[in-house]
Amino acid sequence: MRDRWGGTIVVSRGRLHDTDRLEGLVAEDAGRPAGLLTYRIDAGECEIVTLDALVRGAGAGTALLQAAADLARRAGCRRLWLITTNDNLDALRFYQRRGLTLAAVHARAVEASRRLKPGIPQVGEHGILIRDEIELERWLEPAE
């Protein structure tokens, strides 16, 4: 988390998350870590706080996302959701191709996030200014 996310603290929707204290799922390839997903369950919803595949395109992210949906369903959650930022075009494509839909755009929400975590950069992927939080969701069918 420190190497790939700049630390263990993540902000989403004005809330600080310490990823060291969250539940997580690990994807492995031949016994070696291939990806990590952290999440929290609250009030019948499962928020994916972080999702990181060590090698893009190898399937770890997809497997972790599906495992999180299955886990959330078994825990009685009806909604799986997450936050990404407006610059994260690769993530937006990834999540939408896997059944998540845009739920909300929280315009200029990153300004408030920077007050909680000042290290959030001003410019992100593809030279895009980071300013908005984008909420994606997937509604879950009840577990059998």
pLDDT at 6: 66
pLDDT at 4 over 70: no
**Gyration radius (Cα) of the chain, Å:** 15
Specify the amino acid at residue 27. Answer: A
| pLDDT tens-place string over residues 34-66 | 999 999 999 999 999 999 998 788 889 999 999
Query: Could you tell me if 22 and 49 are in contact, meaning their C-beta atoms sit under 8 angstroms apart?
Result: yes
Domain positions in the chain are: 2-139
Read off the pTM: 0.90
The SS3 call for residue 91 is helix
Give the domain 2-139 fold: Aminopeptidase (3.40.630)
